[in-house]
Amino acid sequence: MTVLEATGRPRVGVVGGGSWGTVLAHLAASNGFPVTLWMRDDEAVAALNATRRNAKYLPDLDLHPGLTATTDLASLGTHCGVILVVVPSHALRETMAVLGDTLDGSHILIHAIKGIEPDSFMRMSQILLEETCCKKVGVLSGPNLAKEVALGHPSATVIASGYQEVISAGSEILRSKAFRVYGNPDVVGTEIGGSLKNIMAIASGMADGLGFGDNTKALLLTRGLAEIMRLGVGFGADPMTFSGLSGIGDLMATCFSPLSRNYQVGNRLAKGESLEAIQADMRQVAEGVRTTRTVARYARTNGIYMPITEGIYRIVYEGATPKEALSGLLDVSRNPYEGDAAKRAAGVP
Amino acid sequence: MSRMKTTETPQPMMPPAAAPELPAPPAMEGPIFHFNRDRDAIVDEVVSRELARVGGSVDALELVLNDAAYSELTRLEKAGGRPGPDLQFWRELHRTLGGKPVAEKEALYRRLATGYARDIVGNFDLKAYRFATSVVPMGLSLIMRPQGTSRRFVNMNSTLTERIRVQGHLSTLQALARKGTVILVPTHSSNLDSIVIGWAIHHLGLPPFTYGAGKNLFTNPILSYFMRNLGAYRVDRRLTHGLYKDVLKTYSTVLLERGYHSLFFPGGGRCRSGAIEQKLKLGLLGTGLSAYINNLQRGKDDPNVYIVPCTLNYPLVLEAATLIDDQLQQVGRSRYIIEDDEFSHATLVGRFIKQVLSMDVSVVIQVGEPLDPFGNRVGPDGRSYDKRGREIDLRKYVEVHGVPQHQAQRDQQYTKELGAAIADAYKRNNVILPSHLVAFTLFQILKRRHPKRDLFKLLRLTPEDSAVALSEFYQQLDVLRQELLMMSEQGRIMVSGVVRKGPAEAITANALRSFGMFHALPPLSRNDGELSAGDMKLLLFYQNRLSGYGLEALFAEEVQA
């Protein structure tokens, strides 16, 4: 409890009651922390407080009694010293604009959101810094399929922050015998790895949907990681971060798991369904769809060689067929290194 | 670490009549005027703080002494020559340290820290200050009167007021200097910076700012006299061990707590590439936060420390040729100190100053919006605001259980945020002058024309290879200028009056005039309806001022005539 004592506020806040937000709130409560879980929907809050279940996202998980749901976002900051933020990436700004009114410099904010803001190309932690006065900001990311964590399967995650204090706080609140928390000072690499792997998950689902085998998948994973790294290092990420849990670890989980929403999108696209139809019957957002557009456009504008992202973009947004776009990756007429070489040659200050 | 270099007094000029847009200058006061009275107390405070930090622990004491001995032995042995007393001292220390009792180690530490603090500590002499601000300008005005004037005495200040434009958040700076302690953090491109900044500080009616200057600049007895007596302290850059660096930082912290306004050049040395600095040194910068926390702990009435970024924008840089040479040799490597450059030649400096003063272009000092030690914006009221305009209670950043506390790792990270905010302010307050705009345009056209050449091959272009028709050049320049005007409206960059007004012909003529005045082989020249590159390295230096904004993309395709 030392973490909360230092902040002078008695509770942990969780903003966003999707499956991952609910599981994180449950983990914190199970560790003995009083938790306030904010959800947008009145009825969902009432139902959760009455039944101790999140019927929509995690109907089978009995939530810890230390967890209370609320719709009152504005006052969350007054009694929560550490706040985990788990809303969809596109809702982050508006959420923080409200929450930010009750935050001060002592608050610790940790987001567990995978996405990059379109146009501005801002990472989620940058949005937290822009919408609030908080500096003690971090990101939680790793191979964490919410359902598996809820079932208590051994899993691990990474909390990245420039502030050791943030890592300790997040770790103290969330860690358990079945859930390990690692720390990393590299926020950029952790955020980029977590966000871009969703693109690779779509590709991976597509490969399965087209009936390709393990060779193709291994190709997608390794070359996918290479292009994630290429972009990340350009933003100042530590390349080693990508070989860790929040990099290759997360990539493997999402690309191999049919539980992953992004994988499902790819898989169904490959089988000929339209994006609209798929999105219409998914309960939660597949962040990878938006991320693909954001990243592909950024890569095009800035001349970064990202063939897999480019291929997925052409399928999802430009009507290319999965087969031709994925096969394009194996086109030997294109020298896979020329993108990098061009950048090096252009290295004029 | 401040890498201030100067070979002139920081306050050489007479106080001018206040510029019309400024409020009346405040009465000249500040702790610096009784520096000499406080000197010994300051040294004592520095030493006792250092002792308090390591004194309690035998391990810490031994580590810090051993580290200093190792670092000094390595340095002195590498230097070669006859072993001096220093080398013998450190050898002896290194050999005997382990066996010494704690009290003796502590005494040794105290002796070393005191020695370093005394070596660093500055001086302030009112007589020297009065002399510098009255007699020196008269002398200078004789040497530097604008060409073509026959009067023996010209009004030095009116000339400087025309040639050095100080603009931006001036009244805020003046107000904050009364509310708390100010750290001015300018970009650093020339040894003239300290003179120019010193003049600007005086011009704004502020007391002299204290700053660290490289010890190598104190060798000239006359310069040394002025620097030593006008608040400059000495930084020995050869000493890299923790003991010395900590004494230096503590010295800066103590000065800030006592309300001495300070000047840091966070870019390190003068910027080699000519670009606006983006990688900043955080060591000395962090002393602002340390001072703030100490002030809070002591319950000081005006605890705040304000960091004011500003950019110095020269149409010409005296040391351009040496700096860019160094940059090219050292690309990606650690910088080294250039001992012999243009600045060592008095006649060259004199000529340069004379040229600058007689030009119809000005040096622009752009004072940016002040920041707090955490990198937040500070308003004219001295309060901090977040990016959405909410007022911030700064104490909350440093309170643990409701009490202000130092936490090394956290504070280092806060200082990183401050560094990023300063770097961002530099970019936004970078004032683009005709010389930068013209150099960038020509360089980018040449780069596009020779896509196979890497940077170093590009630098070997001959004037014949590099001729560009004026019509093409003007068109490209206009495309760039339009983009800059748009960016300046969004607050992402600034442009000078000439650049704003246009047209391309006038901007180009202005740049050619200023380049031609000083550089023996100018970066570019015009003949027969063509513009061609002269000294490509200088062209690179001046064009770099516009790098880092992604403007190169504007030159991807040729403009259709």
Nearest CA in chain B to A93: B388
pLDDT in tens, B97-148: 888 888 888 899 999 999 999 888 877 777 777 666 665 554 444 444 444 4
C-alpha separations of B193 from A34, B33, B129, B178, B263 in Å: 57, 23, 19, 24, 11
Q: How far is B523 from chain A (nearest CA, A)?
A: 17
A-chain CB neighbours of B398 within 8 Å are 105
- Residue A163 has its nearest CB partner, among B402, B410, B547, at B410
3-class SS of residue B34: helix
Contacts of B555 in chain A (CB under 8 A): none
Choose the mutation target among B394, B399, B442, B448 for the interface with A, i.e. most A CBs under 10 Å.
Answer: B399
Between A14-18, A254-258, B382-386, the lowest mean confidence (pLDDT) is in A254-258
List, for residues B407-441, the tens digit of each pLDDT value.
999 999 999 999 999 999 999 999 999 999 999 99
Asked whether the bond before B503 is cis by omega within 30 degrees of 0, the reply is yes
Q: Is A59 on the interface with B (CB under 8 A)?
A: no
Shortest Cα distance, chain A CAs vs residue B382, angstroms: 17
Answer yes or no: do A349 and B397 touch at CB < 8 A.
Answer: no
Q: What is the pLDDT of residues B40-57, one digit of tens each?
A: 899 999 999 998 888 777
Distance from CA of B498 to the nearest CA of A (A): 26
Task: Give the number of beta-carbon pairs within 8 Å between A and B.
Answer: 66
Contact assignment for B409 to A105 by CB distance below 8 Å: no
Give Rg (Cα) of chain A: 20
Helices and strands of chain B, counted as H and E runs: 21, 17
Nearest residue in chain A measured CA to CA from B391: A133
Q: Which residues of B touch A162 (CB under 8 A)?
A: 413, 416
Per DSSP, what are the bridge partners of residue A138? A110
Closest residue of chain B to A96, computed from CA coordinates: B388
Cα nearest neighbour of A127 on chain B = B387
Contact (CB, 8 A) for A306 and A227: yes
Lowest-confidence region among A247-251, B183-187, B452-456: B452-456
Is the pLDDT assigned to residue B499 strictly greater than 90?
A: yes
Tokens of A87: 């809303």
Token readout for A120 is: 């501005």
The whole model's pTM is what? 0.87
φ/ψ of B233, rounded to 5, equals: -115, 160
Cβ–Cβ of B413/A8 closer than 8 Å? Answer: no
pLDDT in tens, B292-316: 999 999 999 889 999 999 999 988 8
Q: How close A35 gets to chain B, by Cα (Å)? A: 21
Lowest mean pLDDT among A8-17, B141-150, B449-458: B141-150
Mean pLDDT of chain B: 82
Q: Is the distance from CB of A311 to CB of A203 less than 8 angstroms?
A: yes
Q: What number is the average pLDDT over the span A57-67?
A: 93
State the amino acid at position B303 in one-letter form. Answer: P
Q: What share of chain A in percent tops pLDDT 90?
A: 68
CB contact under 8 A, A101 and B458: no
From residue A87, give the alpha-carbon distance in Å to each of A24, A174, B55, B254.
13, 18, 50, 46
Instruction: Kindly give the residue spans of alpha helices, DSSP state H, lying in B360-501.
Output: 395-398, 408-428, 434-449, 455-458, 470-489, 497-501
Over residues B230-284, the pLDDT tens digits come to 678 888 888 889 999 999 999 999 999 999 999 999 887 788 888 888 888 898 9
CB within 8 Å: A5 and B401: yes
> Under an 8 A CB cutoff, do B396 and A106 touch?
yes
pLDDT, one tens digit per residue, over A202-231 is: 999 999 999 988 888 898 899 999 999 999
Mean per-residue pLDDT, B7-11: 36
Instruction: Please indicate if any CB of chain B lies within 8 Å of the CB of A280.
Output: no
Would you state the pLDDT for residue B317? 82
Hey, is the C-beta of A168 within 8 angstroms of any chain B C-beta? no
Cα–Cα distance, B92 to B165 (Å, whole number): 55
A199's CB contacts (< 8 A; 6+ apart) are A224, A262, A288, A291, A292, A295, A308, A309, A312
Given a cut of 70, whether residue B74 has pLDDT beyond it is yes
Considering only the beta carbons, identify the residue of B386, B395, B397 that sits closest to A132.
B386
Cβ-contact A184, A154 below 8 angstroms: no
Q: How far apart are the first and last CA of chain B?
A: 50
CB contact under 8 A, B410 and A101: no
- Contact with chain B for residue A101, Cβ under 8 A: yes
Substitution target in A1, A5, A94, A104 with the highest count of B β-carbons within 10 Å is A104
Average pLDDT estimate for A68-85: 94
Rg, chain B, Cα only: 25
Give chain A as a 3 state SS string.
Answer: CHHHHHHCCCEEEEECCCHHHHHHHHHHHHCCCCEEEECCCHHHHHHHHHHCCECCCECCCCCCCCEEEECCCCCHHHHEEEEEECCCHHHHHHHHHHHHHHCCCCCEEEECCCCECCCCCCEHHHHHHHHCCCCCEEEEECCCCHHHHHCCCCEEEEEECCCHHHHHHHHHHHCCCCEEEEEECCHHHHHHHHHHHHHHHHHHHHHHHCCCCHHHHHHHHHHHHHHHHHHHHHCCCCHHHHHCHHHHHHHHHHHHCCCCHHHHHHHHHHCCCCHHHHHHCCCCCCHHHHHHHHHHHHHHHHCCCCHHHHHHHHHHHHCCCHHHHHHHHHCCCCCCCHHHHHHHHCCCC
> What ipTM did this prediction achieve?
0.89
CB contact under 8 A, B454 and A345: yes
A197 as an active site residue: the answer is: yes
Cross-strand pairs, A160: A139, A184
Using CB atoms, which residue from A106, A133, A162 is nearest to B386? Answer: A133
Using alpha carbons, list the distances in angstroms from residue A229 to A120, A223, A244, A319, B157. Answer: 20, 10, 12, 27, 56
Catalytic residue chosen out of the listed positions A114, A147, A177, A197: A197
| Residues of chain B neighbouring A348 (CB-CB closer than 8 A) | 447, 454-455, 458, 552
Helix, strand, or coil here: B391?
strand
CA B266 to chain centre: 6
CB contact under 8 A, B455 and A347: yes
Check: CB of residue B251 under 8 Å from CB of residue B238: no
**Subunit contact A135:B414, Cβ cutoff 8 A:** yes
Give me the pLDDT at residue A205, please.
Answer: 92
Contact A163 B399 (CB under 8 A): no
Count of CB atoms situated within 10 Å of the CB of B52: 9
Q: Is residue B434 helix, strand or coil?
A: helix
Residues of B at the A interface, defined by Cβ within 8 angstroms? 273, 275, 374, 376, 386-388, 390, 392-402, 407, 409-410, 413-414, 416-417, 447, 454-455, 458, 540, 544, 547, 552
Does B15 or A287 have the greater pLDDT score?
A287
Q: Which residues in chain A are closer than 8 Å to B407, comparing Cβ atoms?
A: 165
Question: If you average pLDDT over residues A253-273, what whole number do you get?
Answer: 87
Q: Compute how many other C-beta atoms are within 10 angstroms of the C-beta atom of residue B82.
A: 5
Give the pLDDT confidence score for residue B223 in this predicted structure: 62
CB distance B117 to B43 below 8 Å: yes
Judge: B400–A347 Cβ closer than 8 Å, yes or no: no
A162 reaches B (C-beta below 8 A): yes
Question: A264: closest CA among A249, A250, A282, A246?
Answer: A282
Provide the pLDDT for residue B457: 82
Q: What is the pLDDT of residue B315?
A: 85
pLDDT at A15 over 60: yes
Q: Is A132 on the interface with B (CB under 8 A)?
A: yes
CA-closest candidate to residue B243, choices B456, B4, B50: B50
CB contact under 8 A, B454 and A347: yes
Within 286-345 of A, beta carbons closer than 8 Å to B belong to: 345
Q: Which residues of B388-418 are buried (b: 16+ CB within 10 A; e: fewer)?
A: eeeebebbbbbbbeeebeeeeebbbbbbbbb
